Amino acid sequence: MPRVAGVDIPNEKPAWIALRYIHGIGPKIAKDICEKLGIEPSLRAKDLTEDQLSQIASLLTNDYIIEGNLRRQTQQNIARLRDIASYRGLRHRRGLPVRGQRTKTNARGRKGPRKTVAGKKSVKEMR
């Protein structure tokens, strides 16, 4: 497997798709990288030369924030929001959706599995 910027990229994928396995590189940036360096996007990752791989690695380290640095920056941004107690920071702290989604239904991915409240439905009126 070729290794670019400390990440193994899959052999059998075309170069522009293989680059997307790097955290912080999406479809647009992957195509832009191939275009800048004059690499055929449909060329398989295993067919890239050492020179092309080193060009990709140097371009990524110089021009883009990727992998660990990007993860660290994201965590620092969230920590800053929590520290200043903004609305978004409070939502992060409580583990609720941050971007205005509804929570009465859905939001299970953010809130986790349902927690059943014991005896909620079985309360009957006494006369």
pLDDT digits (tens), the chain, 127 positions: 777 777 788 888 998 999 999 999 999 999 999 999 999 988 898 888 889 988 999 999 899 998 889 999 999 999 999 999 999 999 999 999 999 999 988 888 888 899 888 876 665 666 6
- The CATH number linked to 29 is 1.10.8.50
Across-strand partners of 8? 3
* Residue 98, domain member (yes or no): no
In a domain, residue 77? The reply is no
Strand partners, 14: 44
Residue range(s) defining the domain that contains residue 51 = 3-63
In a domain, 49, yes or no: yes
Domain membership flag for residue 30: yes
Q: Where are the alpha helices (DSSP H) in 2-107?
A: 15-18, 27-37, 50-63, 67-83, 87-94
**Domain assignment present for 72:** no
Q: How many domains does the chain have?
A: 1
From the CA atom positions of the chain, what is the Rg in Å? 23
Q: Does residue 82 lie within any of the structural domains?
A: no
